[in-house]
């Protein structure tokens, strides 16, 4: 069943709720995909070399920390809008931005931590506030 016109079709089996699991690894990931890590284990990627465009599918689990992110680097999010995502400072490091979202359709949990992107003051409660505080457009919603 492939719904071309409407919402993205779910291809393949859907595991009923219960023990969770590690999320799918099928398909060909986009370059610099942030759909890595599991609900409990984060992975770290670096944006330090050159201008990097990361890709985050809101419907696929992400648990990732990005280091070295600066102007010219950006995250392109698909399957969500900016107001879906939650933005806050890391309780453990006020200079880190924590971005979270749980997809209501797939149950995918997205947690993206951008290391050392924030000055010590400034609002970050929304994407536009976080961009203003960080000083560059680090995330866009396709």
Q: Which residues of the chain form contacts with Ca ion (CB under 5 A)?
A: 35, 47, 56-57, 60, 62, 73, 110
Smallest distance, Ca ion to C-beta of residue 52, A: 5
User: Distance (Å, rounded) from C-alpha 125 to C-alpha 136?
Assistant: 16
Q: For Ca ion, which is the closer residue by CB, 70 or 126?
A: 70
Minimum Å gap between C-beta 43 and Ca ion is 12
Distance CA(127)–CA(124), nearest Å, equals: 7
Cβ nearer to Ca ion, comparing 28 with 121: 28
Kindly give, in sequence order, each residue whose CB lies less than 8 Å from that of residue 88, ignoring residues fewer than 6 positions away.
97, 98, 100, 124, 125
10 Å Cβ neighbour count for 86? 15
Q: Which is nearer to Ca ion, 112 or 124 (CB)?
A: 112
Query: Which single residue brings its beta carbon nearest to Ca ion?
Result: 62
Q: In the β-sheet with 86-89, what is the strand arrangement from edge to edge?
A: 43-46, 62-67, 109-114, 97-102, 86-89
Question: Where do runs of H (alpha helix) occur along the chain?
Answer: 127-134
Please report how close the Cβ of residue 9 comes to Ca ion at its closest, in angstroms: 18
Q: How far is the CB of 114 from Ca ion (least distance, A)?
A: 12
Q: Closest CB to Ca ion among 68 and 121?
A: 68
């Amino acid at each position: 069943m492939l719904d071309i016109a409407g919402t993205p079709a779910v291809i393949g089996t859907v595991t009923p709720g219960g023990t969770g699991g590690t999320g799918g690894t099928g398909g060909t990931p986009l370059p610099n995909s942030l759909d890595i890590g599991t609900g409990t284990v984060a992975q770290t990627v670096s944006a330090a070399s050159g201008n990097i465009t990361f890709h985050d599918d809101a419907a696929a689990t992400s648990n990732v920390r990005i280091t070295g992110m600066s102007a010219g680097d950006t995250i392109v999010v698909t399957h969500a809008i900016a107001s879906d995502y939650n933005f806050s400072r890391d309780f453990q490091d006020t200079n880190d931005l924590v971005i979270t979202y749980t997809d209501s359709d797939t149950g995918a949990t997205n947690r993206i931590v951008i290391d050392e992107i924030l000055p010590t003051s400034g609002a970050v409660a929304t994407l536009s506030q976080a961009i203003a505080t960080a000083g560059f457009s680090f995330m866009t919603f396709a």
